C-alpha cells in the first residue's frame, strides 16, 4: 500500500510505502532535513510536523494515519509539539495522504558559506592552451592524415611540442570538423601532450572550475584560464547531508546499502553540476568551454565522488584506496562541461587528511618558511599540520560537528536565527547576544557556543572539569535535585522557537570532547616533532574565521600562543584549489608536499589519553594577550 505526501514549504509531492519512514522518502527525493545522527534516533533533529485531516481531538497514539509515537520521540519532543503532531522523521511511517511540514527548512544557509580565502596573487600557467590555426589542406602531393596535419600545424607555432595524442571521441569527428571549418580552427591542447578540442576559429575562450568539496558545504569558482580572472563563485550545502553530518555516517551508508556508494556519489555529482550550470548560465558561458576542474576534498568525500570504496578509510589502520594525484575525463564522472576536459583531484596526505589539507598547505606554504606554524582547519573533522621548511607533520582529529553548532541541544549552523556572539554580565549573569539576520534567536552556532562557554568559564559558572557550579545562584541556572543542569541563554518569550534556548551539561561535554580531541592532536603533533615552540597559529576554514580567537584560547581549544600570532586565513582550501587550477608548477608542488608531510596517527601515541583528558578540562584563570 502506498500514499501521497506533500512536503511543505517545498511543495514537493512524493509517494510513501507503508514500510518506509518519512526519512527514507526525504533522502530518496533529495529533500533537506537535519538528520545529524543519520537516522539512528539519537539526535532528535529530524523534526517534522504532520499536517493532515486528523481531528484535533485525537492524539498521535490514537491516530491510525501513522504509526504510534515512540518512547524515544517523546524524549525529544515537548508536550506542545506532540499535541501539534510533531514527530521525528526517522521513526514516522505514514499510511494515508498527508502534508509533512519541515519546520527548519532554511534555504538561506547557502548564502553564508565561506567560499573565499586571501585572494592570493597567482602566476598564470594553466595546463590548457589554445591555438588559432590555418591548416594546409590535403592534396595529391601531400598525403598526410588529418591528425598529423593538425599536429604539424601546432608544432610549427609551439616549438616545445613534438607530438600530441588526441581524445578518441574527438578523433572520430576530426575529419568532418576540419572540413566543416574550412581548415581554420581553434585547437585546445592540454599539458602539451593531448588535443582535447578542435572548434570554430571564432571560439577561443577557455575556463576552469576549482571546487572545495566539504562534508557539509561545496564552494566553487569559475575562472578564465587565460588571465586567471575570477568570473564568479557559488556555494551550496552538500546534499549528502541527508545521510548524516559526518564522514563516518556517509561511509556507513555506503556499506549498509547495496547501491549506497552510487547513490551518494550521484548526489554530489549532481550538486557539482548544479553549481557549474548556474555559474555558466548566469555569465553567458558555454559549458563546453570549461575544460578543467580541480577538486579538493577530504579523503572520504573524494572516494565517494570517484565511486571508490570508502569502507577501509574508516577502519584501523585507516588506509585509503589511493593517495596520488588523480585525473579523469569529465565525461567519465558525469560532469556537465567539455566532454573532452579533465577533472583533477589533488593528492591525499594519509588517512582522513585529504586533498583539502594539501590545498591549504599550497596556499599557506609553511614548507617554505623558517617559523614553526601550527595550521588548524576545523570542519566536521579537524586537520592539523605543524612544522616549517625542514619538516611538516600532520594529523586529523575527530572534533565532530559540535563546534559547528550541530548535535548540541539548541545547536544550529550559522544561518539566520543563530546566536553568533555572547557576553554575560559579571554581576547579574544576564547574557547579551547577537543573532544572524533580523530575526528572533532559534539556536546557537559554533562561534556562539565558544563565546558562551568562555563566558561561563570566566564567571566560574562552569568549573574546570566542565560541570556546572551549583553554588552560584541565578534564575538563569536551572537546578534539578540541587544540581545545576542548564544555563538559560534565551527565555521562551524572547526566542523564535517558542521554548527556552539553553546550554545543557551534555552540550558542554560535547564541546569538551571536541576540544579535547583538537588540543591532544596539536599537542602530540608538536611533541612528535620535538620542536618546543609555536611561532604562529593559522586558522583556516569557516569555523576558524568566525570564532573569537581570545575566547577560543580562553577555553583551551588549542595550545596557547600570543593573540597577535594567530592568523585567520578564510577558506585556504579553495585558494589552494585555485592555485592548482591556474598553475601547473603549483600542481606539481602539491604532489611533492603530499609525499613530504609525515602523517602521525596521534591516537596511537603513548600520551594520547593523558593529553586528551587534559585537553577536555578548562584552563582556569589563564591570561591572554
Ligand atoms: Fe532522526 Fe537523528 S533522530 S535523524
- 34-60: pLDDT as tens digits: 888 888 898 888 999 887 644 444 445
Please, which pLDDT band fits residue 111 given cuts at 50, 70 and 90?
Answer: very low
* The predicted structure's pLDDT at residue 108: 47
What average pLDDT does range 485-496 have in this prediction? 92
Distances in Å between the Cα of 418 and the Cα atoms of 149, 151, 406, 415, 513 are 63, 59, 12, 6, 22
Question: Residue 78 C-alpha to ligand 1 middle, in angstroms?
Answer: 16
Mean pLDDT across the chain, nearest whole number? 89
**CA nearest 221: which of 587, 578, 542, 570?**
578
Across 165-191, average pLDDT:
96
- Band the pLDDT of 105: cuts 50, 70, 90: low
Which residues is 195 bridged to in the sheet? 166, 189
Substitution site in 90, 92, 246 for ligand 1 pocket (most atoms within 8 Å of beta carbon)? 90
Distance of alpha carbon 213 from alpha carbon 221, whole angstroms: 12
pLDDT at 415 over 80: no
Name the DSSP class of 314: G
What number does the ligand 1 atom closest to the CA of 72 have? 3
* pLDDT tops 80 at residue 400: no
Cα 321 from Cα 307, distance rounded (Å): 11
519 versus 623: the higher-pLDDT residue is 519
**Among protein residues, the one whose CA lies closest to atom 3 of ligand 1:** 41
Q: What confidence score (pLDDT) does residue 403 get? A: 77
Q: What integer pLDDT is reported at residue 9 of this predicted model?
A: 64
- Among 289, 295, 246, CA closest to 517: 246
Atom of ligand 1 nearest to the CA of 43: 2
Question: Cα(509) to centroid of ligand 1, in Å?
Answer: 20
pLDDT at residue 479, rounded to an integer: 86
Q: Which has the closest alpha carbon to 522: 508, 534, 535, 510? A: 534
Residue from 88, 242, 244 to probe ligand 1 pocket by mutation (most atoms less than 8 Å from CB): 88
Its sign, for the CA torsion 271, 272, 273, 277, is positive
Task: Compute, in angstroms, the gap from residue 514 CA to the centroid of ligand 1.
Answer: 21
Distance CA 198, CA 182 (A): 12
Q: Which of 24, 46, 252 to mutate to test the pocket of ligand 1 (most atoms within 8 A of CB)?
A: 46
Determine the atom of ligand 1 nearest the C-alpha atom of 35. 4
Task: Give residues with Cβ within 8 angstroms of 228, minimum separation 6.
Answer: 122, 124, 582
Give the model confidence (pLDDT) of 500-516 as tens digits: 999 999 999 999 999 99
* CA of 615 relative to ligand 1 center, distance in Å: 29
Distance 24 CA to ligand 1 centre (A): 12
Is the pLDDT at 195 greater than 90? The verdict is yes
Mean pLDDT score, 525-540: 92
Mean pLDDT: which of 56-65, 152-161, 406-415 is highest?
152-161
Residue 399 above 80 pLDDT?
no
Q: Ligand 1 pocket by C-beta < 6 Å: which residues?
A: 35-37, 39, 41-46, 88-90
Ligand 1 atom closest to Cα of residue 37: 2
Q: Which three cell numbers stand for residue 127?
A: 595546463
Hey, is 64 helix, strand or coil? coil
pLDDT over threshold 80, residue 241: no
Best CA proximity match to 96, nearest among 60, 68, 70, 66 = 66
Amino acid at each position: 500500500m502506498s500514499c501521497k505526501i506533500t512536503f511543505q514549504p517545498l511543495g514537493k509531492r512524493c509517494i510513501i510505502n507503508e514500510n518506509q519512514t518519512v526519512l527514507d522518502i526525504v533522502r530518496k527525493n533529495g529533500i533537506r532535513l537535519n538528520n545529524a545522527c543519520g537516522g539512528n534516533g539519537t539526535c532528535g533533529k529530524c523534526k517534522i510536523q504532520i499536517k493532515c485531516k486528523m481531528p484535533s481531538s485525537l492524539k498521535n497514539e490514537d491516530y491510525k494515519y501513522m504509526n504510534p509515537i515512540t518512547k524515544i520521540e517523546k524524549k525529544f519532543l515537548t508536550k506542545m509539539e506532540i499535541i501539534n503532531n510533531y514527530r521525528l522523521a526517522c521513526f514516522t511511517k505514514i499510511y494515508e495522504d498527508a502534508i509533512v511540514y519541515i519546520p527548519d527548512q532554511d534555504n538561506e544557509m547557502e548564502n553564508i558559506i565561506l567560499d573565499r580565502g586571501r585572494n592570493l596573487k597567482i602566476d598564470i600557467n594553466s595546463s590548457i592552451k589554445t591555438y588559432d590555426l590555418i591548416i594546409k589542406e590535403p592534396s595529391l602531393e601531400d598525403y598526410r592524415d588529418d591528425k598529423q596535419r593538425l599536429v604539424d600545424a601546432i608544432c610549427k607555432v609551439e616549438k616545445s611540442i613534438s607530438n600530441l595524442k588526441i581524445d578518441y571521441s574527438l578523433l572520430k569527428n576530426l575529419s568532418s570538423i576540419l572540413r566543416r571549418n574550412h581548415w581554420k580552427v581553434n585547437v585546445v591542447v592540454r599539458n602539451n601532450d593531448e588535443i582535447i578540442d578542435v572548434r570554430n576559429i571564432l571560439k577561443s575562450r577557455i575556463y576552469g572550475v576549482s571546487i572545495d568539496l566539504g562534508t557539509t558545504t561545496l564552494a566553487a569558482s569559475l575562472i578564465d584560464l587565460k588571465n586567471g580572472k575570477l568570473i564568479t563563485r557559488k556555494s551550496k550545502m552538500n546534499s549528502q547531508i541527508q545521510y548524516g553530518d559526518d564522514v563516518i555516517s556517509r561511509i556507513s551508508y555506503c556499506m549498509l546499502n547495496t547501491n549506497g556508494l552510487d547513490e551518494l556519489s550521484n548526489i554530489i555529482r549532481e550538486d557539482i553540476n548544479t553549481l557549474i550550470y548556474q555559474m555558466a548560465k548566469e555569465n553567458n558561458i558555454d559549458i563546453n568551454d570549461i575544460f578543467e576542474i580541480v577538486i579538493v576534498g577530504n579523503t572520504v568525500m573524494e572516494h565517494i565522488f570517484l565511486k571508490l570504496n570508502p569502507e577501509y578509510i574508516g577502519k584501523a589502520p585507516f588506509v585509503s584506496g589511493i593517495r596520488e594525484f588523480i585525473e579523469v575525463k569529465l565525461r567519465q564522472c558525469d560532469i556537465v562541461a567539455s566532454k573532452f576536459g579533465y577533472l583533477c583531484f589533488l593528492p591525499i596526505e594519509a588517512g582522513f587528511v585529504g586533498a583539502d589539507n594539501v590545498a591549504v598547505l599550497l596556499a599557506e606554504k609553511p614548507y617554505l618558511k623558517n617559523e614553526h606554524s601550527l595550521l588548524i582547519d576545523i570542519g566536521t573533522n579537524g586537520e592539523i599540520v605543524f612544522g616549517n621548511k625542514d619538516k611538516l607533520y600532520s594529523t586529523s582529529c575527530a572534533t565532530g560537528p559540535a563546534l559547528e553548532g550541530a548535535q548540541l541541544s539548541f545547536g544550529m549552523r550559522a544561518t539566520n536565527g543563530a546566536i553568533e556572539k555572547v557576553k554575560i554580565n559579571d554581576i547579574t549573569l544576564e547574557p547579551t547576544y547577537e543573532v544572524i539576520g533580523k530575526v528572533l534567536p532559534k539556536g546557537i552556532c559554533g562561534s556562539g557556543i565558544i563565546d558562551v562557554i568562555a563566558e561561563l568559564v570566566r564567571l566560574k559558572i562552569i568549573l574546570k572539569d566542565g560541570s556546572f557550579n551549583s553554588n552560584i545562584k541565578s534564575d538563569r541556572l536551572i537546578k534539578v535535585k540541587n544540581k545545576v543542569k542548564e544555563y538559560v541563554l534565551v527565555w521562551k518569550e524572547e526566542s523564535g522557537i517558542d521554548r527556552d534556548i539553553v546550554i545543557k551539561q551534555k552540550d558542554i561535554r560535547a564541546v569538551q570532547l571536541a576540544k579535547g580531541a583538537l588540543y591532544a592532536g596539536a599537542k602530540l603533533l608538536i611533541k612528535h616533532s620535538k620542536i618546543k615552540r609555536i611561532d604562529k597559529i593559522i586558522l583556516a576554514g569557516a569555523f576558524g574565521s568566525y570564532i573569537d580567537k581570545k575566547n577560543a584560547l580562553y577555553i583551551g581549544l588549542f595550545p596557547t600562543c600570543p593573540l597577535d600570532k594567530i592568523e585567520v586565513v578564510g577558506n585556504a582550501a579553495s585558494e589552494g584549489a585555485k592555485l592548482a587550477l591556474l598553475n601547473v608548477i603549483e600542481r606539481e608542488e602539491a604532489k611533492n608536499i603530499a609525499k613530504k608531510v609525515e602523517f602521525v596517527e596521534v591516537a596511537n601515541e603513548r600520551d594520547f589519553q593523558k593529553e586528551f583528558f587534559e585537553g577536555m578540562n578548562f584552563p582556569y584563570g589563564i591570561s591572554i594577550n
